[in-house]
Amino acid sequence: MDILSYLVFFSAVSGIYAIATLGLNLQWGFTGIMNVGVVGFFGVGAYATAFLTGPAYPDAFGGFGLPPLVGYLGAMIASGLAALVVGLLTIRLRHDFLAIGTFGAAICIQLLAMNLKPITRGFDGLHSLPRPFAGLAATPVAANAYFLAMVVAIIAAVVWALERMVRSPWGRVLRAIREDEEASAALGKNAFAFRLQTFVMGSMLMGLAGALYASFTGFVSPQDLLPILTFQVYVMLIVGGSGNNYGAVLGAVLIWALWTMTETFLGAVLPAGLKQQVSALRVVLVGLILVLMLLYRPQGLLPERANVSREARLQG
């Protein structure tokens, strides 16, 4: 029962990461937009849902006490708007310049969360956010299980929608832009518009992930907005398979397991003398697996499929 309780909890968090990874897959996997500001949009979503659904604080903004679903929608809108602003300014930049631009945007968002104390309470964080299903379920474990079911349903819906989108003519343009932006422009495609669209849509998914995270843990602070999260989501996508939506979900679950569970596992199997070093060994293990993946399977566990349309079947 307790193992079940942990697995439910673990799956819910890795599902949340999967949603962010799906967002990044649309941007990086399909369109080649190097967004290194994943955590920024995650953070906008987390704070937006905290403002909309959270209790009233005497010293912060928000406290509207709206239902979680409104919070999630609001979070997607807020992160979409943030992405629109960032995107209009930076999306014309190429790879590394765009990476620097989006990274800067994410840092700005973290600094805002840290310093806009009358609104965000700074490092004190927004606490006691309502956790969905907490009142409906008999036990906290059941509440987490309902939450997990909701996350799984959201992932299923997102994957279904993304699969349809990337297999449509619209999706084929994305890949054309990724492979050769000049060529697709020469064919009359407005690369800027397509890139902006995917940037905003992908970031909305990241915002949704942030919103789910905040309402699942019930607490949000600037410490949730550290750049490490962007790195984690990239690792998840690269290991799972960039350009494959199922790969993105698989990568999220596997990498999150590697990031967390290995500690308990290593603790159980290592000889007593090495137990003190478990934390450091885990970092080594994550790095080792990343390097091995990049060396021997750079396309990821589930590589991108070559067929670009339901009607067309190409030789892989």
Partner 1 sequence: MTIFKTLLLAGVAGVLFAGPAAACPAKIGAVLSMTGSYATFGPPISNAAALAVEQLNAAGWKVGDCSKLEYIVRDDQTQPSVGVDAARRLVDLDAVGAIVGPITSGVTGPLLTSVTVDKGVLVIVSASSSPTFTEMARQGKLKGLFYRVLPSDALQAVAAAKIAWDAGYRKIAVFNLNNDWGNNLGKQFAVTFKAMGGEITGTVTYNAEQPSYRAEVNKALEAKPEAVYIAATPIDGSKILRDWISLGGTQKFIFPLGMNDAKVVEQIGDQYLKDAWFVTPGAPQPNSRSVFYENYEKRYNLDPGKGPGPGRDSGYDAAALIGLAMMAAKDYKDGKAIAAAIGKVTDPAGTPIMATVDDYRKAVQLLGDGKTIRYVGATGPMTYDQYGDVSTPFVGWQLENKIFVQKKNVSAQDVADIKSKTGT
Binding site for partner 1 (CB under 8 A): 1-3, 5-6, 9-10, 13, 111, 114-115, 117, 121-125, 127-129, 131, 140, 213, 216-219, 221-224, 226, 228-229, 254, 257-269, 278-280, 282-283, 289, 292-293, 296-297, 301
- Closer to partner 1 by CB, 102 or 232: give it: 232
The answer to whether the beta carbons of residues 19 and 158 sit under 8 Å apart is: yes
Quote the least distance from Cβ 231 to partner 1, whole Å. 11
Quote the least distance from Cβ 222 to partner 1, whole Å. 7
For 144-176, give one letter per residue: b (16+ CB within 10 A) or e.
bbbbbebbeebbeebbeebeebbbeeebbbbbb
3-class state of residue 220 by DSSP = strand
Quote the least distance from Cβ 164 to partner 1, whole Å. 29
3-class state of residue 126 by DSSP = strand
Number of H-type helices and E-type strands within the chain: 12, 0
Quote the least distance from Cβ 285 to partner 1, whole Å. 8
- Closer to partner 1 by CB, 3 or 186: give it: 3
Quote the least distance from Cβ 29 to partner 1, whole Å. 20
Quote the least distance from Cβ 81 to partner 1, whole Å. 25
- Closer to partner 1 by CB, 161 or 283: give it: 283
**For residue 121, what are its two tokens?**
């309470």
Report, in angstroms and rounded to the nearest whole number, the Rg of the chain calculated over CA atoms: 20
Residue 286 CA, chain-centre distance (Å), reads 19
Q: Return the sign of the alpha-carbon dihedral for residues 198, 199, 202, 208.
A: negative
Distance CA 91, CA 5 (A): 43
Residues 6+ apart with CB under 8 A from 221: 113, 123, 124, 125, 126
**For residue 291, what are its two tokens?**
């390097």
- Closer to partner 1 by CB, 137 or 149: give it: 137
